[in-house]
Chain A
Amino acid sequence: MANLPKHAKRCCIIVLLCANMLSGCGFRDIDKRFFVVEMALDKGEKKPYKVSLKLAIPSPKMEPGDSKSQIISAEGDSIAETVRRMKSMVDKEFDFGHTKVFILGKPFAEEVDLRHALDWLARRRDIQGVAFLAMGQPDALTVLKVKPPSERLPGNSLILSFTREGTDSPFIVPEYWFDFYRRLRERGKDPYLPVIIPEQETFDISKVAVVAGGRSKLELDDRDTEIFNQLARYVQRSVLKGEYKGKSFEISVDQIKKKYRIVTPAEGQPSVEMHVTLKGEVEESAVSLFEKDWEMLERNLAENQKQRYVEVLEKLRDANVDPVGFGLRYRATRHHPATEWEEWQKIYPRVQFHVHVKVELKGTGIVK
């Protein structure tokens, strides 16, 4: 370079500058990409997979109810193949970087082994680990088609529900893809999926389905889902119902502490000793509570709550699913690489749950 004549150097620089006008293959402007905001996986009619994509159509002005999107579906033998097939149905490149919600149809989640079916999600580099997984009832495509009138952007209402930026319902059990994948492969901690039931113009997300062995095994109703949310995740909000002289009152809980220990005595029943502390304020009551004996109210609430915890835990045990992670705790605390898992599988169906609930009333909301 140094011994080239001066005009040759100048030519080099000009050529390099002109080369800037060309762009690399990775270069694709944001407006030449189709953002897939939701993806639905169902069982196909003829082929094993039916993939549906919700594509966002960006517009410079975005107002509530103005969200524009396009849904395309195709069937195929694998997800990768189907997606590749679908590329010929649109004019822009798919971008899965913003696919925040993957919806599995109910029959799909119950009949297909998710450990193999979802391999594509794990391998694609542009799919984010913080995407959410959910189960659609009756199938995933129906969920995709719902268009809530308040939505500013396509898919935004599901994202807001799951990220807790918007609603903060104790019935929604969001499940991240990275967490789902981890639980899917881990022995002793089972994954779960929130169940989305599409209604006329909105969604009802108040149930949870627990997955074991790669298939959806157990579905809990909304009452149990709330308890499940406290057990399997670190949710801090809940509502407790209590009774005072035949009249009911409710307290809203804003702090929940939970710890448990697995006890396996040489003789006798193995058990899980669980301690739960809840703190909250009275939210609704038919009687004036301020001057009553708070300790009695707390005991009453604790007794009720204990029943509900034991009920749900036993339901999970009887279905032989373990989303709380007792099995993982057992393996971690009694480590025998060769035998621990078999041991736990023998212990779990017999395990007894002893839940000790303590409720602390912080206030009655109003003074009198």
Chain B
Amino acid sequence: MSIDDTIERLKQSSDFQCESLDNGRFKIELCYFTTLCDKAVIKKEAAHPFFHAEDASEYRERLSAALSCLKLDDDADPMPDLMRGYVLIRFDDASYSLEAAMAGNDKPLHATSEMTIQGPQTAFSEDVDTNLLLTRKRYPYPALVAEKRNLGKISQTKAYLVYDKEKCDPDVLRRAKGMLERIQADTVMAVGQLEALMTETKLRWFPTMVITERPDRVIFNLALGKIVILLDGTPYALVAPAVFYDFISAMDDMYQSFIVSRSLIIMRYIALLITIALPALYVAVVSYNPEIFRMQFALSVAGSRAAVPYPSFIEVIIMLFLIEALIEASLRLPSYIGSTATTVGGLILGQAAQMAGLVSSIMIIITSAVAISNFVVPINTMSFALRIAKYPLVLLASMFGLAGVVSGMFALALYVTNLENFGRPYFRLFLGEPSVAGYKESESD
């Protein structure tokens, strides 16, 4: 397709503009998308030199000297460049394309999904170049390499594969590049989707790459020798390969004192067990093995359940469904209605459900313990994955009692242990990783 054909095709859009300029000595034609290009750049790099140029050859020299300006061959297709905010400059005999893209949302946003109390407060922006800038600024080291990729057949979303060449594992890097090559989707919009596209199996459950909005987490992981993918249009970055522990660690752990952060980590693991196992344990203990309780407690549980006509697992399923619906609703609602939903759902519904004899008061405590413990998990994707994990366990508990819960937990452990990412084991602790923030113990050196 020749340049003329391309221009004819693009002219159907009203934001595509072709202007002829004449300075009295010679003429040029500028073609660009007004919505994509920064007029100031065009004026400075194309229009202003043209005004001063004596003849076409002088102007040609000026263009060759300008930043990010390329001469196009006669048979080259300018379409991809035009779509990304380049200006096509046409003479009678030659064409140049000049980069004049307008930056999108390049303001760093406030960290909202991964808060820290005393860490850095800003997250990445929605512009990938700004994000790369943030990364470089915090990691001014020559071995930091950023490879550019355009992902998605139509969207051609700009992405950077960022890694520390000295520290990262070449095998992991090779695999990651291969995965990016193989992406077949038309549009790539978010890093979560990118993770799905990069993973081969369709039945994914636990996240195997960390999605983070925190520049400090990215820097920390780069220094650990991991690779980071920055994607245009999303304030999140993808960090790979990850181990299970990464999802349970908050950046605050590194900013707190030793004893405090270790206690918090232990607390998080306990919360993790609670959120996975508590509903199943309730069913198993209440319906199969009430002798586990103290007698005093068993009687009070029996008393509180006395008004509930349904078997325990129905009760659990009702309550868990309500709480999941509540969480989902408050996620999707605008934040100013969200708090109303929580109040209505949490307070009124919980109290009323117990009064109406639909659920026991112990069940209300369990439901809220499960929901609160779930929010303790610092990385959002993991917290979603764990929300699912309790249902198979409730199923097993209602059929096989405590033995079912134990075997379910065992099966879950087997599944997670079996997971791999980038050929590395997933369910391991942080043993053997270099101590880059004075935080994780080092075993390798």
| In the complex with contacts A29-B312, A30-B301, A95-B290, A58-B400 CB distance below 8 A | no
13 A–B pairs (Cβ distance < 8 Å), ordered by A: A20-B313, A20-B399, A23-B313, A23-B399, A26-B288, A29-B287, A29-B305, A30-B286, A58-B302, A98-B290, A152-B296, A153-B296, A159-B295
CB-CB under 8 A from B311, the residues of chain A are 23, 27, 29
| Partner of A35 from B298, B395, B401 at Cβ < 8 Å | B298
Min Cβ gap A358→B in Å is: 40
Q: Is A200 an interface residue (CB 8 A)?
A: no
| In the complex with contacts A20-B395, A35-B295, A30-B300 CB distance below 8 A | no
Describe A's contact surface by its main secondary structure: loop
**Is B295 within 8 A of A153, CB to CB?**
yes
CB-CB under 8 A from B307, the residues of chain A are 60
**Is A30 within 8 A of B302, CB to CB?**
yes
CB-CB under 8 A from B313, the residues of chain A are 20, 23
Q: Is A33 an interface residue (CB 8 A)?
A: yes
Interface size on B, residues (CB 8 A): 28
In B66-94, the 8 Å CB interface with A consists of: none
Per-position binary interface string of chain B over residues 397-429, scored 1 when its CB falls under 8 Å from any chain A CB and 0 otherwise? 011110000000000000000000000000000
Min Cβ gap B430→A in Å is: 38
Interface residues of A (CB under 8 A from B): 20, 23-24, 26-31, 33, 35, 37, 56, 58-62, 95, 97-98, 100, 126, 128, 152-153, 155-156, 159
CB-CB under 8 A from A153, the residues of chain B are 295-296, 299
Which 8 A-B residue pairs are closest in the complex by CB-CB distance? A97-B291, A58-B303, A58-B302, A98-B295, A31-B305, A60-B303, A30-B286, A58-B299
Closest partner residue, chain B, to A56 (CB atom): B299
Q: Is B304 an interface residue (CB 8 A)?
A: yes
In the assembled complex, the Cα of A24 lies from the Cα of B403 at a distance in Å of 13
**Is B291 within 8 A of A126, CB to CB?**
yes
Closest partner residue, chain B, to A159 (CB atom): B295
Q: Which of A31, A153, A159 has the most CB of B within 10 A?
A: A31
CB-CB under 8 A from A56, the residues of chain B are 299
**Is A24 within 8 A of B291, CB to CB?**
no
Closest partner residue, chain A, to B301 (CB atom): A30
Min Cβ gap B295→A in Å is: 4
| In the complex with contacts A23-B313, A29-B286, A29-B311, A98-B291 CB distance below 8 A | yes
Q: Is B145 an interface residue (CB 8 A)?
A: no
Q: Is B388 an interface residue (CB 8 A)?
A: no
Min Cβ gap A18→B in Å is: 12
| Partner of B290 from A26, A62, A97 at Cβ < 8 Å | A97
In the assembled complex, the Cα of A30 lies from the Cα of B295 at a distance in Å of 12
| Partner of B295 from A24, A59, A60, A100 at Cβ < 8 Å | A100
Min Cβ gap A60→B in Å is: 4
Q: Is B40 an interface residue (CB 8 A)?
A: no
Min Cβ gap B248→A in Å is: 31
CB-CB under 8 A from B312, the residues of chain A are 29-30
Min Cβ gap B437→A in Å is: 46
Q: Which of B291, B304, B307, B398 has the most CB of A within 10 A?
A: B291
